[in-house]
Amino acid sequence: MNKSTQKIIFVDFYGILSSTRYWFSLENPKHKWHSYFAGIQDFLLVKNRELLDDWMKGKYTSEDIHHILAEKLDLNFDELFQVFVEDCKKIEFSKKITDFIRTISLYYGY
């Protein structure tokens, strides 16, 4: 399929493809890093939304974001990034949406 006829579908991640938050394990009050969850969310979702948007657009890698978080929030990069990686392995995806994406990709010949 050439560029002029290529169909692109954008799918929002949180709330559409998945309702699992990044760093969701930190929401557990028993997690050793629980006290940092609100700060991470506030830093990315409220105070630096453009940074989050740029990450989602591919302008930053996950490693870049975690280096920034580690520096700004005085956190250990390796531990924080490990939480992120382990949580990403457990993200639950909407079967309804993934099935729909498969269906339309077949329709468009992908």
Task: Render pLDDT for 5-25 as a digit per residue (tens, 0 to 9).
Answer: 677 777 777 667 777 888 999
Domain membership flag for residue 6: no
Q: What is the pLDDT of residue 55?
A: 94
Domains contained in the chain, number: 1
Cβ atoms of 52 and 45 within 8 Å: the answer is yes
Domain membership flag for residue 3: no
Which structural domain, as residue segments, surrounds residue 97? 24-107
27: DSSP letter: G
Domain membership flag for residue 94: yes
Count other C-beta atoms under 10 Å from residue 2's C-beta: 5
Domain membership flag for residue 11: no
- pLDDT tens digits along 50-91: 999 999 889 999 999 999 999 999 999 999 999 999 999 998
Domain membership flag for residue 7: no
Domain membership flag for residue 5: no
Mean pLDDT of 87-110: 81
Q: Does residue 9 sit in helix, strand or coil?
A: coil
Mean pLDDT of 31-41: 96
Q: What is the pLDDT of residue 19?
A: 77
The pTM for the full model equals: 0.75
